[in-house]
């Protein structure tokens, strides 16, 4: 047996390694993505006062700045029996939506779309944002970046501090939105709506209308058939900050609906010896290994999972884009992993429209933004939709609100099983007769990029990027080494 290793993978938060096992004919027998770093956040949160947790948890990741913050905050509300006033809920939702937009934009334009715009086998030095600017025009990319900064600016205005929000208090928010701030956010939100429209159109132009890429979108080898989880509102439309979690089967039929602590009845976690990351699966179906298909226990989360688990979006432009995507695939659920990027583009539009709706609410500028703490309940569960999928924070505290235990289930972990299937399928599709070159390796990496893995944390010390190194073995002997740096 020959072994091809891609280590470490590029464009990911944290460290990981892809190992591809080839048979004697040079075809892929199996492939795995291994997480080789374990930070153990839950342990480090123990002993911390719960009111400090949202701010601390927000620094888990330099990218996901508003998501751990929001989930931990919702859990802290429950621990202090303090239901936030309507204004505070709206501020939190606004912040989360703006964060989604900045994150989705960066993922699409700097990390995901270069594979399509610059070409999947282009060298990494060209397959980046600068390469995108060369292909679609500098002015367009400048405009996109400027509009993305408008989302970041909204996070900054509401969060009270650049980069990581600090305005969190259990039971609400520490500062009200002034009329001036609201006016500024309104102006910035025009940019976001434009950004959403542009992104959906650009995706259609560059990917959907390109015969080669359109074929990839319909290629069965890139179908990862799983159950799908997302959060929906009372009309079963996608929502992000608050709602009900719903899981649909690979056929698109609703399996279960849950809220808060009930997640424990829905998800179980399996530990496998070769990976530090756990493998969540649907409890009611039981562990069946890393296989997709109609009977699978694996569950996916993220933009495409939200698309599949819901009846679409509550806003008109996003709903129209949703219907176009459903029509392209001839129905749903959509299984193709590259469709994650399409759903991500539609979400930018949906989130911008939702921001516009929130800004219409007179409650947004209410004076009352916090409910005083009540009895310490000792337990709280915060569930939100992060850009990468459903995020669960569960805390237990003592009678004074000091954390005694914590359980964090992050989207990349829920997607772990699906990602293994995606990587294996791509490896089987692209590696034939032992032929492995730099282009092939990027094609395999393209299979996990739609999930936008977030493997570790904000610790990022320079050089900050992890070039791909591939070693091919034959009968235990190293016969080839490839680098993309």
Among 464, 475, 476, 477, binds another protein (CB under 8 A): 464
| Residue 11 CB neighbours (<10 A) | 23
Which residue, 141 or 321, has its beta carbon nearer to another protein? 141
68 contributes a contact to another protein by CB under 8 A: no
Assess 142 for contact with another protein (CB under 8 A). yes
For residues 250 and 306, give the distance between their C-alpha atoms in angstroms, rounded to a whole number: 13
Residues 259-318 that bind another protein (CB under 8 A): none
d(CA 38, CA 96): 27
Of 60-68, 77-85, 184-192, 336-344, the segment contacting another protein by CB under 8 A is 60-68
Which residues are CB-neighbours of 57 under 8 A, at least 6 positions away? 41, 45, 68, 69, 71, 72, 393
> Binding to another protein by residue 13, rule CB under 8 A?
yes
Token representation of residue 197 = 């429209």
Q: Among 2, 65, 99, 424, indicate the residue that binds another protein (CB under 8 A).
A: 65
Print the binding letters for residues 20-59 with another protein: x by CB under 8 A, - otherwise. -------------------xxx--xx----------x--x
Residue in 462, 475, 476, 477 binding another protein, rule: CB under 8 A:
462
Beta carbon of residue 162, minimum distance to another protein (angstroms, whole number): 7
Site string for another protein, 420-459 (x = CB under 8 A): --------------------------------xxx--xxx
- Smaller CB separation from another protein, 105 or 300: 105
Nearest Cα to 129, choosing from 121, 138, 120? 138
The one segment of 162-170, 246-254, 259-267, 363-371 that binds another protein by CB under 8 A: 162-170
Dihedral angle over CA of 268, 273, 277, 280, nearest 10:
-20
Report if residue 465 touches another protein, rule: CB under 8 A. Answer: yes
Beta strands (DSSP E) in 95-191 are 168-169, 172-173
**At its nearest, how many Å lie between another protein and the CB of residue 11?**
5
Cβ proximity to another protein: between 12 and 117 the closer is 12
Which is nearer to another protein, 121 or 128 (by Cβ)? Answer: 128
User: Strand 469-474 relative to strand 2-7: parallel, antiparallel, unpaired?
Assistant: antiparallel
CA-based nearest residue to 255, from 283, 290, 279, 292: 283
Compute the distance between CA of residue 226 and CA of residue 304 in angstroms, rounded to an integer. Answer: 11
Residue 449 to residue 422: CA distance in whole angstroms:
10
SS3 for 251?
coil
Nearest residue (CB) to another protein, 283 versus 460: 460
Identify the three-state secondary structure at position 81: coil
Work out which of 323, 467, 479, 481 binds another protein, going by CB under 8 A: 467
How many residues make contact with another protein (CB under 8 A)?
A: 54
> How far from 3 is each of 24, 25, 27, 410, CA to CA, in Å?
10, 12, 11, 30
Q: Which of 1, 24, 25, 62 binds another protein (CB under 8 A)?
A: 62
The least CB distance from residue 14 to another protein, in Å, is 8
Q: Least distance to another protein from the beta carbon of 141, Å?
A: 6
SS3 assignment, position 411: helix
Q: Considering the complex, what minimum distance in angstroms separates the CB of residue 377 from another protein?
A: 24
Residue 266 near residue 303 (C-beta atoms within 8 A)? no
Q: Binding another protein by CB under 8 A: which of 3, 27, 36, 149?
A: 149
End-to-end CA distance of the chain: 27
3-state secondary structure of 354: helix
470 interacts with another protein by CB under 8 A:
no
What CA–CA distance (Å, rounded) separates 187 from 396?
A: 41
Identify residues 81-140 at the interface with another protein (CB under 8 A). Answer: 106, 110-111, 114, 123-125, 127-130, 133, 138
Cβ closer to another protein: 317 or 458? 458
Interface residue with another protein, options 36, 163, 264, 482 (CB under 8 A): 163
Of the pair 161, 368, the CB lying nearest another protein is at 161
407 binds another protein (CB under 8 A): no
Pairing of strands 279-282, 379-386: unpaired
Among 5, 6, 10, 266, binds another protein (CB under 8 A): 10
Q: Rule CB under 8 A: say whether 242 interacts with another protein.
A: no
Residue number, 231 or 484, with CB nearest to another protein = 484
Shortest distance, position 23 Cβ to another protein, whole Å = 30
Question: Who's near 294: CB < 8 A, 6+ residues apart?
Answer: 225, 249, 250, 251
Q: How many other CB atoms are there within 10 angstroms of residue 204's CB atom?
A: 17
- Work out the burial of residue 469: count CB atoms within 10 Å of its CB; fewer than 13 is exposed, 13-18 middle, 19 or more buried: middle
Binding site for another protein (CB under 8 A): 10-14, 39-41, 44-45, 56, 59, 62-63, 65, 106, 110-111, 114, 123-125, 127-130, 133, 138, 141-142, 145, 148-149, 152, 162-164, 452-454, 457-468, 484-485
């Amino acid at each position: 047996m020959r072994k091809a290793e891609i280590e470490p993978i590029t464009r990911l938060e944290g460290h990981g390694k892809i190992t591809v096992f080839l048979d004697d004919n040079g075809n892929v027998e199996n492939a795995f993505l291994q997480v080789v770093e374990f930070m153990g956040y839950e342990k480090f949160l123990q002993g911390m006062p719960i009111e400090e947790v949202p701010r601390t948890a927000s620094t888990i990741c330099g990218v996901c700045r508003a998501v751990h913050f929001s989930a931990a905050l919702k859990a802290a509300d429950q621990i202090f029996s303090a239901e936030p006033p309507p204004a505070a809920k709206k501020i939190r939702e606004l912040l989360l939506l703006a964060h989604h937009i900045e994150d989705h934009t960066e993922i699409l334009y700097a990390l995901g779309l270069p594979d399509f715009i610059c070409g999947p086998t282009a060298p990494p030095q060209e397959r980046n944002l600068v390469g995108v600017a060369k292909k679609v025009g500098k002015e367009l990319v400048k405009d996109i970046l400027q509009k993305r900064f408008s989302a970041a600016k909204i996070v900054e205005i509401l969060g009270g501090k650049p980069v990581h929000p600090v305005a969190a208090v259990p039971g609400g928010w520490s500062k009200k939105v002034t009329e001036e701030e609201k006016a500024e956010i309104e102006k910035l939100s025009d940019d976001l709506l434009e950004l959403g429209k542009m992104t959906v159109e650009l995706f259609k132009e560059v990917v959907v209308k390109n015969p080669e890429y359109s074929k990839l979108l319909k290629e069965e080898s890139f179908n990862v058939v799983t159950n799908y989880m997302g959060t929906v509102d009372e009309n079963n439309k996608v929502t992000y900050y608050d709602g009900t979690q719903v899981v649909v089967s690979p056929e698109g039929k609703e399996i279960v609906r849950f809220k808060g602590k009930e997640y424990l009845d829905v998800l179980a976690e399996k530990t496998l010896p070769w990976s530090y990351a756990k493998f969540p699966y649907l409890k009611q179906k039981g562990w069946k290994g890393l296989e997709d298909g109609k009977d699978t226990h694996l569950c996916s989360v993220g933009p495409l999972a939200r698309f599949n688990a819901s009846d679409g979006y509550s806003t008109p432009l996003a709903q129209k884009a949703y219907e176009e995507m459903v029509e392209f695939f001839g129905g749903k659920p959509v299984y193709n992993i590259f469709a994650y990027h399409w759903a991500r583009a539609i979400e930018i539009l949906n989130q911008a429209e939702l921001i516009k709706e929130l800004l219409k609410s007179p409650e947004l500028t209410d004076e009352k933004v916090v409910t005083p703490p009540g009895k310490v309940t000792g337990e709280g569960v915060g569930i939100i939709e992060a850009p990468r999928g459903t995020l669960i924070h569960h805390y237990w505290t003592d009678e004074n609100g000091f954390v005694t235990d914590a359980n964090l289930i992050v989207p990349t972990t829920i997607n772990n099983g699906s990602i293994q299937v995606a990587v294996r399928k791509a490896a089987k599709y692209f590696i034939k007769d032992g032929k492995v070159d730099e282009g092939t390796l990027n094609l395999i990496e393209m299979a996990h990029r739609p999930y936008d893995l977030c493997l570790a944390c904000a610790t990022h010390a320079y050089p900050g990027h992890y070039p791909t190194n591939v070693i091919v073995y034959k009968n235990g002997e190293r016969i080839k080494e490839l680098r993309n740096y």
